[in-house]
Chains A and B, each alone.
Chain A
């Protein structure tokens, strides 16, 4: 028993280190000043920790032991990127949940002709590599004036988030006991009333979890952001960060900007962990064939 415990704890600590060390290194970099970064061997702890680089990433100068450090030349893009990413992610999340919740319910709980074919059509759209459909979008957006607009980004993100969220919610609704719904129907509710008066409140934690994941999908999206928003007024944070690699390398500011980019991810993972595990992401086929 004792030996077994030790093995588990050692494995647990190794897992924690594996997950955390890359993030720790990013945090460490973001708290070093540019002259400290190239020290050999590296500082494993920042000798003069400060949030100065975060201020610089957001367009403010910062005091350092080596004199005042200028704001990053890329700050305006980072600031605009954060704002744009939020402006895009919020409507994407709301619209996705409005559409995917009923669709997930229907796929998860009802039988109707061609159900499996329709479901696979939905999932199949997600197996396409984005680069293979990139150029038509670019041309189409250019012609219709959607290039560099919020609406353009939101439309394309919806085509990514809706299938994913429908799939996840379908797995969830599928596991709810059938009696709940029957109770609602007996009380004289129509199918739709039973859905939003009984089922949705029952599944509020799953719906909230999916909303979090949807927000994250939109916040994290890189390729279409790069293609359709770079250099436009709606440039999102991922596109802004990729621009920093090309310009003068300010690694400490790059690190700070990336810490800002992962804050939502870490927050959502922390809050939703318990629910994410409960979602039955497991087997699209078994669920699809109910």
Chain B
């Protein structure tokens, strides 16, 4: 494409207002919460005074913080594993040609179009210990005598991760499907002629084409699941006990329940730095792959 100075001016004219608006909407709160994190604030009497790094010291002394990080990581790892497997399964099925494929595509897409908070309500109704579908099926089959509570200390994180994966997996499926569709048909034919079974064809023909899409799926699912909050608010409220208190839910609780604005700001700043590090890693990983 030809590059002229009028073109450059035209481009900036259209793009800069967007960037300025969006970054303004983000930069202001980031700067403000940096200021908050160096204060000691009493909301009841409305007094703020400079407190140096004392909030950060409190964060590092707080045993709930490493625990919340671990819960977030556990939740992310489970979600990423589920979404990648489910997404791959969906993509492989949707890549075949069969009757009703476009209808199935709609069905598979629907959970992604449904918001996180409705997903939480939906799955609460499936898991419920008074009228949930899962309990009812187990009971009908005679496997349990009375309904069981699935939100226990051990099960709560996997239970929420499964629900969240229902909502998130279609996104990965469509990244993967788009990559599958560019694989030339001839490659499969050649592989068949060579006598490869379907697993080997997947391993040696499809998988090399899927590497980038798999990486993107993993990165995006981990970004989303590490910071999800809507699901936790609507599904467990961090409980039972603190077993689903992820790092974002801990910040949420400190802000809106305990009203510790200063402390929560310091904590969210540390999370922010983690996310920046993660994003930089993500982009450099992807660019490196592309440059290869």
Contact flags A117-133 to B (C-beta < 8 A → 1, else 0): 01011101101111111
Contact between B22 and A162, CB atoms less than 8 A apart = yes
Q: Does B258 make an interface contact (CB < 8 A)?
A: no
Distance in angstroms from A117 CB to nearest chain B CB is: 10
- Report chain B residues within 8 Å CB of A273: 102, 105-106, 109
Contact flags B96-114 to A (C-beta < 8 A → 1, else 0): 1010111011111111111
Whether A283 contacts B108 in the complex (CB less than 8 A), given A129-B275, A258-B121, A261-B115, comes out as no
- Report chain B residues within 8 Å CB of A26: 121-122, 125
Bound state CA distance, A23 and B290, in angstroms? Answer: 40
Of A38, A105, A241, A258, most B-chain CB atoms within 10 Å:
A258
Total of A-B residue pairs, C-beta within 8 Å? 268
Identify the stretch in B50-58, B63-71, B132-140 within 8 Å (CB) of chain A at 4 or more residues: B132-140
| Interface set, chain A 127-175, CB cutoff 8 A to B | 127-137, 139-140, 155-156, 158-159, 162-163, 166
Bound state CA distance, A266 and B179, in angstroms? Answer: 25
Whether A289 contacts B287 in the complex (CB less than 8 A), given A254-B121, A277-B105, comes out as yes
Bound state CA distance, A187 and B105, in angstroms? Answer: 41
Q: Which of B102, B107, B119, B252 contacts A131 (CB 8 A)?
A: B252
Distance in angstroms from B131 CB to nearest chain A CB is: 5
Q: Does B75 make an interface contact (CB < 8 A)?
A: no
Q: Does A100 make an interface contact (CB < 8 A)?
A: yes
Contact between A103 and B131, CB atoms less than 8 A apart = no
Q: Does B202 make an interface contact (CB < 8 A)?
A: no
Contact between B178 and A19, CB atoms less than 8 A apart = no
Identify the stretch in A5-13, A54-62, A86-94 within 8 Å (CB) of chain B at 4 or more residues: A5-13
Contact between B107 and A19, CB atoms less than 8 A apart = yes
Whether A110 contacts B115 in the complex (CB less than 8 A), given A99-B17, A159-B26, comes out as no
Contact between A15 and B283, CB atoms less than 8 A apart = no
Bound state CA distance, A254 and B18, in angstroms? Answer: 39
Interface bin, chain A: 35 or more
Q: Does B3 make an interface contact (CB < 8 A)?
A: yes
| Interface set, chain A 156-215, CB cutoff 8 A to B | 156, 158-159, 162-163, 166, 178, 191-192
Write the chain B residue with the least CB distance to A163: B22
Contact between A282 and B178, CB atoms less than 8 A apart = yes
Q: Does A248 make an interface contact (CB < 8 A)?
A: no
- Report chain A residues within 8 Å CB of B89: 11, 15
Contact between B7 and A269, CB atoms less than 8 A apart = no
Write the chain B residue with the least CB distance to A20: B107
Secondary structure type dominating chain B contacts: helix
Bound state CA distance, A125 and B116, in angstroms? Answer: 20
- Report chain A residues within 8 Å CB of B10: 106, 110, 191-192
- Report chain B residues within 8 Å CB of A122: 18-19, 22
- Report chain B residues within 8 Å CB of A128: 26, 30, 272, 275
Distance in angstroms from A53 CB to nearest chain B CB is: 14
| B contact residues, total (Cβ < 8 Å) | 98
Q: Does B73 make an interface contact (CB < 8 A)?
A: no
Q: Does B12 make an interface contact (CB < 8 A)?
A: yes
Q: Does B29 make an interface contact (CB < 8 A)?
A: yes
Q: Does B28 make an interface contact (CB < 8 A)?
A: yes
Q: Does A238 make an interface contact (CB < 8 A)?
A: yes
Q: Which of A44, A129, A162, A242 contacts B248 (CB 8 A)?
A: A129
Q: Which of B22, B36, B132, B229 contacts A135 (CB 8 A)?
A: B36
Q: Which of A107, A191, A220, A226 contacts B6 (CB 8 A)?
A: A191
Write the chain A residue with the least CB distance to B234: A242
Q: Does A45 make an interface contact (CB < 8 A)?
A: no
Besides A15-B108, A110-B10, 18 more A-B contacts (Cβ < 8 Å) are: A19-B166, A22-B126, A26-B125, A99-B17, A99-B18, A100-B18, A102-B14, A124-B276, A125-B23, A127-B275, A132-B268, A134-B29, A135-B33, A135-B265, A136-B36, A158-B25, A159-B26, A166-B18
Interface residues of B (CB under 8 A from A): 1, 3, 6-8, 10-12, 14-15, 17-19, 21-23, 25-26, 28-30, 32-33, 36, 86, 89-90, 93, 96, 98, 100-102, 104-119, 121-123, 125-126, 130-133, 136-137, 139-140, 147, 166, 174-175, 177-179, 198, 212-213, 216, 223, 227, 229-230, 233-234, 248, 251-252, 255, 261, 264-265, 268-269, 271-272, 275-276, 278-279, 283, 286-287, 290
Shortest 4 CB-CB distances between A and B: which pairs?
Answer: A220-B115, A136-B29, A159-B25, A132-B268
A-B contact pairs, 28 of them (CB 8 A): A15-B90, A29-B125, A42-B132, A107-B15, A110-B10, A112-B12, A121-B19, A127-B275, A127-B278, A127-B279, A128-B272, A130-B229, A135-B32, A136-B32, A137-B29, A191-B10, A222-B233, A238-B115, A254-B121, A258-B121, A258-B122, A262-B114, A269-B109, A269-B110, A277-B105, A277-B177, A277-B178, A285-B287
